[in-house]
Amino acid sequence: MSRSAHPAGPRHADVLPEGHYSAPPADLNTLDPKVWAQTVDRGADGVVRVGGVDVKALAEEFGTPAYFLDEADFRARARAWRTAFGQDADVFYAGKAFLSRAVVRWLHEEGLNLDVCSGGELATALSAGMPADRIAFHGNNKSTEEIHRAVEAGVGRIVLDSFQEIVRVAHIAQELGKRQRVQIRVTVGVEAHTHEFIATAHEDQKFGIPLAGGQAAEAVRRALKLDGLELIGIHSHIGSQIFDTSGFEVAAHRVVGLLKDIRDEHGVELPEIDLGGGLGIAYTSADDPREPHEIAKALTEIVTRECEGARLRTPRISVEPGRAIVGPTAFTLYEVGTIKPLDGLRTYVSVDGGMSDNIRTALYDAEYSVALVSRTSDAEPMLARVVGKHCESGDIVVKDAFLPADLAPGDLIAVPATGAYCRSMASNYNHVLRPPVVAVKDGDAQVIVRRETEEDLLRLDVG
Ligand code: LLP
């Protein structure tokens, strides 16, 4: 089929149904550096490259769909967080955003710590050589077995999430003849400005122990009495994909308030405060994320000011960015399949993946960008919806985006900013195989998570 042979559909700005988009961008060939990984650019031949390797070569070698991760960018972002917070603070990368053994090694080399929230994440971290004392173990329903493994391995901290868990961890630590360093996760009652499903500091939800009604203070009382625990601090995580620091400000104020109450009641100044993760990234050109050094400055100032006000020694701060480190570093490469123009609506562009490699659009109504990357085009913009191959009408990858009207089956398109919560939330829906993650750096591409095979799938079937 020639590039222009498919039937004419809604091509440009004079047919614009309801949607998230604004006007089509002036030039569809230009890649906004805000949403693409650092080393991504378009070569003189029009083909987009990452780490010096062009996407046609990558597609040929590794197939599509696939996630391509810019290793230099990942390391630079990890380092930027580390440097911004300096020696008096700790940066824990949140493994839930994306974890693999290679990533664990990079983090170790760049001097970051790691936040894990399941036995699987813990196993990955330990097997790739992350020292246990640099691991924080999270979760609202850690199993006895997980706690046992974490304490036995000697994790640097367990973040306690409930009254029951306080007793459970203390008991297991005592059984193992250890004293486990712990923090208590509190909910500070902040409404973070983000999607309801990823906001975590309001009280009506499953995470943490509310400050309200003195519950957190009671948790501290109990933890301080138990021999198996060494209470080192208070933890707060207010949500995810947040752009302004005002929520953190309120959280810091309330957490420091608790530290002061603890000092007054028990004569103990807890040495640490963890403000969680949650910093937003640019998924589209409309997003304006803050830089790590701005965030570090703001958070450090808030905590210092609050502590001075309460006459407390400033505790050691830690943060847990996941998305802000890995999110912008990868894009998903797809091959265009069926193209279906719907008169007066938009053109449906089907790709060879979908909600199994990126559930975020279906789950959070997330917005993404997309670009034709295997060539340039001077064709006019066409309002497109990029959809997957799953048996579900909500299987949308990019809800509203402009792509050139001469888009054709076989073209490669890429969705940027898919490093976080895409591979890590991938599924086998419709027995579609989960894509590989390929790290690209200095002209070299290395598979760090291989593509799933039908054999992998069949291996789980019994009988
Ligand atoms: N610390 C804790 C305790 C967390 O629960 C999380 C994320 C983080 C740190 C890292 O947050 P980040 O810096 O990555 O925003 N699947 C959702 C996001 C869920 C976040 C869960 N917890 C999404 O795709 O938007």
Q: For the segment 376-423, what is each residue's pLDDT rounded down to a tens digit?
A: 999 999 999 999 999 999 999 999 999 999 999 999 999 999 999 999
If you measure from the C-alpha of residue 279 to the centroid of ligand 1, how many angstroms do you get, rounded to a whole number? 9
Per-residue pLDDT band for 203 (boundaries 50, 70, 90) equals confident
Task: Give, in order, the Cα–Cα distances in Å from 195 to each of 200, 234, 356.
Answer: 10, 25, 21
**pLDDT, average across residues 17-30:** 76
Percent of the chain with pLDDT over 70: 93
- The preferred substitution site among 121, 323, 422, 424 for testing ligand 1, maximizing ligand atoms within 8 Å of CB, is 323
If you measure from the C-alpha of residue 277 to the centroid of ligand 1, how many angstroms do you get, rounded to a whole number? 6
Comparing C-alpha atoms, which of 274, 313, 333 is closest to residue 36?
333
Q: Out of 128-137, 201-210, 334-343, which region has the weakest mean confidence (pLDDT)?
A: 201-210
Comparing C-alpha atoms, which of 326, 332, 331 is closest to residue 279?
326
SS3 string, 384-428, reads EEEECCCCCCCCEEEEEEEEECCCCCCCEEEEECCCCCCHHHCCC
Question: Which residues lie closer than 8 Å to 112 by C-beta, 6 or more apart?
Answer: 78, 81, 82, 91, 92, 93
Q: How far apart are CA 20 and CA 290, in angstroms?
A: 23
Q: What is the pLDDT of residue 190?
A: 81
**Residue 405 tokens, joined:** 């009207």
Amino acid present at 73:
D
Q: What is the pLDDT of residue 68?
A: 99
**Residue 156 tokens, joined:** 């640097």
pLDDT over 50 at 276, yes or no: yes
Say whether pTM exceeds 0.85.
yes
Q: How far apart are CA 138 and CA 157, in angstroms?
A: 9
Bond preceding residue 25 cis, omega within 30 of 0: no
How many residues are present in the chain? Answer: 463
Q: How far apart are CA 274 and CA 292, in angstroms?
A: 16
8 Å CB contact between 117 and 140? no
Atom of ligand 1 nearest to the CA of 320: 9
If you measure from the C-alpha of residue 216 to the centroid of ligand 1, how many angstroms do you get, rounded to a whole number? 22
Which residue has the CA at smallest separation from atom 24 of ligand 1? 421
Residue 391 annotated in active site: yes
- The preferred substitution site among 77, 96, 329, 358 for testing ligand 1, maximizing ligand atoms within 8 Å of CB, is 96
Name all residues whose Cβ lies below 6 A of ligand 1. Answer: 94, 96-97, 115, 138, 198, 237, 240-241, 276-279, 320-324, 360, 364, 420-421
Superfamily of domain 13-70+328-459: Lyase, Ornithine Decarboxylase; Chain A, domain 1 (2.40.37.10)
Q: What is the pLDDT of residue 9?
A: 47
If you measure from the C-alpha of residue 201 to the centroid of ligand 1, how many angstroms do you get, rounded to a whole number? 12
| pLDDT digits 0-9 by tens, 128-164 | 999 999 999 999 999 999 999 999 999 999 999 999 9
**pLDDT, average across residues 84-99:** 97
Q: What is the mean pLDDT of the chain?
A: 93
Atom of ligand 1 nearest to the CA of 241: 15
Percent of the chain with pLDDT over 90: 89
8 Å CB contact between 249 and 197? no
Higher-pLDDT residue of 372 and 194 is 372
Q: What is the pLDDT of residue 3?
A: 39
Where in the chain are the domains?
13-70+328-459, 138-321
Q: Does domain 138-321 bear CATH number 3.20.20.10? A: yes
If you measure from the C-alpha of residue 242 to the centroid of ligand 1, how many angstroms do you get, rounded to a whole number? 10
Q: What is the pLDDT of residue 444?
A: 98
